[in-house]
Structure 1
Amino acid sequence: MEKQITVPKSSRPRERLLEFGEKALSDQELLAILLRTGSKPYNVLELAGLILAAFPNLYELKSASLNELQQIRGVGQIRAIELKAMMELGSRIHQTRQPKYGKVQSSYGLAQQLIDEFKDYHQEHLVCLYLNTKNEITHRKTLFIGSLNQSIAHPREIYREAVRCSAARIICAHNHPSGAPQPSVNDRLFTKRLKQCGELMGIELLDHLIIGNESYVSLREDGFWDEN
Structure 2
Amino acid sequence: MNDYPIMIRDVPEEERPRERLINKGSHSLSNQELLAIILRTGTMNESVLQVAQRLLQHFEGLRLLKNASIEELTAIKGIGTAKAIQILASLELGQRIMQLHPDEKYAIRSPEEGANYVMEELRFLTQEHFVAAYLNTKNEVIHKQTVFIGSLNASIVHPREVFNEAIRRSANSVICFHNHPSGDPSPSREDIEVTKRLAESGRLLGIDLLDHIVIGDKQYVSLKEKGYI
Secondary structure of 2:174 counterpart: strand
Secondary structure of 2:119 counterpart: helix
Measured against aligned partners, the alpha-carbon deviations of 1:35-88 in whole angstroms (never above 9, x if no partner) come to xxxxxxxxxxxxxxxxxxxxxxxxxxxxxxxxxxxxxxxxxxxxxxxxxxxxxx
Secondary structure of 1:224 counterpart: coil
Secondary structure of 2:177 counterpart: strand
Query: Which of 170, 176, 180 is 2:180 aligned to?
Result: 176
Query: Which shows bigger deviation, 131-140 or 114-123?
Result: 114-123
**Structure-2 residue corresponding to 1:200:** 204
User: Which amino acid in structure 2 is aligned with residue 217 of structure 1?
Assistant: V
1:146-161 counterparts in 2 under 5 A?
Answer: 146=150, 149-151=151-153, 152-161=156-165
Cα 1:150/1:193, change in 2 over 3 Å: closer
Could you tell me how far apart the structure 1 residues matched to 2:148 and 2:171 are?
A: 19
Could you tell me how far apart the structure 2 residues matched to 1:163 and 1:100 are?
A: 22
Measured against aligned partners, the alpha-carbon deviations of 1:171-209 in whole angstroms (never above 9, x if no partner) come to 000001111111111111111010000000000010000
Contact 1:123–1:145 under 8 Å retained in 2: yes
Query: Which of 160, 163, 184 is 2:167 aligned to?
Result: 163
**Structure-2 residue corresponding to 1:220:** 224
**Offset at 1:150?**
4.0
Could you tell me how far apart the structure 2 residues matched to 1:113 and 1:201 are?
A: 26
Secondary structure of 2:161 counterpart: helix
**Offset at 1:109?**
1.8
1:81-160 counterparts in 2 under 5 A?
Answer: 101-146=105-150, 149-151=151-153, 152-160=156-164
Q: Give me the TM-score of the superposition, normalised by structure 1.
A: 0.52
Could you tell me how far apart the structure 2 residues matched to 1:142 and 1:100 are?
A: 21
**Offset at 1:133?**
0.8
**Structure-1 residue corresponding to 2:73:** none
- How many residues are aligned here? 125
Secondary structure of 2:170 counterpart: coil
Query: Which structure has the greater CA radius of gyration?
Result: 1
Q: Does 1:211 align with 2:210?
A: no
**Structure-2 residue corresponding to 1:56:** none
Could you tell me how far apart the structure 2 residues matched to 1:130 and 1:181 are?
A: 22
**Offset at 1:214?**
2.0
Structure 2: unaligned runs, 5 residues or longer: 1-102
Identity %: 49
Contact 2:135–2:172 under 8 Å retained in 1: yes
**Offset at 1:100?**
5.6
Structure 1: unaligned runs, 5 residues or longer: 1-98
